[in-house]
Chains A and B, each alone.
Chain A
């Protein structure tokens, strides 16, 4: 094989085939008429949905296609005639709500377009809904895009006849720091409460009282009959939001939800608004651009609303194949970082005399960067001393940018030293990704999550690490199709909401547990799980954390092979899957081609128009940083890498300080830019077009939202390569795409699946525990900078231990616990949790708990526990900074 064949159908950017619309089964079809138009729909179709198909708009407030019908607002009343016992059409005595009415054979529906009765009924309902509505549209955020406003005009009276005093409530209640509730605007459609119950599963505000004083209200022990305190068996200190909330939710705890922003979007009036967008703008000001959320690997469709070059809000886009209409609050509200005042606007070059970074022009900066890199490359010919350049692109890149890094490293720098994994990683993980993930797009999809009969989550806390995937799983669970089991140290609230089963495993013992899942296992639970994983559609979802557990991914591969379950790898960051597909790993070339195979190298070299590609195996992030620290790597090119994310931040800082030449491509100043010799500013996602590849392997292209002169990474790297005297030809998106199309996917032999044996878990001395840790969705990450309202909805950092472990250390629930290694101590309040003894869980990167930075260790490591004394750690003030 010398040249590649173009295979658009299997290429990296190939768009998945649209799901074929299922043909109408004539046996179950229902034929009826709306406004005299005959139509056939599947049995069980609601009249309002059928009318949509005909293009007949029936006004509605409570109806939402993704929520169960409830008939709360009565706005969609229609006149209905149905065949009686004698077979003759008879009119139903009263108008019927079409959102709860299923079409039946022979039914004749007359909407407001053909029925005066229906029209009058709708006018009446609107007028009644407006009785207590304050009509404060001029100060309401919904004004201009308000279904109540619009339908009052289209299906109601333009002028109010109501002259009496309206019922009022005190103006807005802060349900959380982000979500505000104006009860007087509410029309009691219950979309918000239904979303919270049916989709997110978070307790929320609920309906209270009766008649005209009925309201969406706060938790009140007197009304709801709860005893004080949280749900039984749960620590009062767990899952609390950081910010103050005036309200407690319907379970009695302060309201905390990662999906609360969706209620603002689906509220058909301005009763729920977000603090971040409050009074900021009007819909006619805004220019909307479709986008893809950059915060996780789900690739959720969003809508970016901006005015005069400033993004004012983001809304969920509608993509039934991926995120339906829901996104996490992080996707919705965390966008301020992209326009932070400290954005890098010009290149910087370190002044040789003063040692300070000074602003430079692009030609200057590229010249200095190229000279430094060229020196490092040419030093590679000498056998001693520092040589070569390493590339750390980071895991947040678009496919195009990651591809540019990959090609830049191989062609311009002549090395395979490129690794996007700025997190704990292993050679085993690399082999797993190369053998089982790369080059296999859309093997498992979101639709599979909700259809799967059995899902095993391994080292994946779906709500925290892939929020939209969690919602899909929950949809399957609520539909009675899916049963979720999580291999984790303890059952989180998210697992409870998935009605899932916990397969308890201390960190580090996951391989052992995975190997024990077999049909002939002595434990009934494990053998049943193994049997169910053999069912058609069963899935094993693996998180990125398993890569840091020796033997973990090998065991998962074995489990999948043994049971026949399909495997999906769900990383946290948006760019990881795409980067792997385009060769931003030391052992992989684009399209999942192994570097080790000559045919693959020839393949890629032919497309890239070079004689040969480097065949020396590349080094991982840790190996590169270690080489830089000890002085055997001459230069580093670093993309969007947060040093705190690296497995050992302290060592990484040393390495970045020690390396001879450091080029940083960044959006905002970071620890890396502070140490860099040349800083090249690049565009944030909102200022560039590009494509994310989500965890499914589905391309998620997005356009440029804001006009900007900022350049994306691929263009900067192209210019840098030019300065080095090498042409990589990746100046425009079209050039990148045509190369990716030409490369296509690899159909040759792949790297062997890893087979690493697990290590024996360490013996636990008294006063010690095994560390379990993962990231919370909202934490101290830099992509949430500048959004104080969102920060207030983050979960308060706590250390979780079992009651026995807490008692062993002498700490009560809520007391402070010191978790320490030789490197440092994290002090957090304890939330006593039902979990195994001698395990302590900490959030990985939350305020007051930066595990990798402070403790320099990760999951499975031994830590010391002691009763805490420091009272200043983890307070609210840190959240704001």
Chain B
């Protein structure tokens, strides 16, 4: 176990994806559909856009609810996924999406350590 600085991932929603093409991102969305080969999922972003995440390996096909995806922004609506984290309904049923969107906008309009 060791503490390490990682290349900063950007918190994004649907509209900020295109500003981070080929850069590491963190994306939070709710599952709309898992593809039949289980290698990609369609998510609805916090700002109600549809984003597709492609993984190298098949993922849990019963994935449901909110998930956090770490990966690289590939285009306006696609992410190359590296890992995903299930966000249980116990912590997401009161998720204030609008607040999250405003926070994402603030992060990139101010100088701060999260950039």
Q: Are A and B physically bound partners? A: no
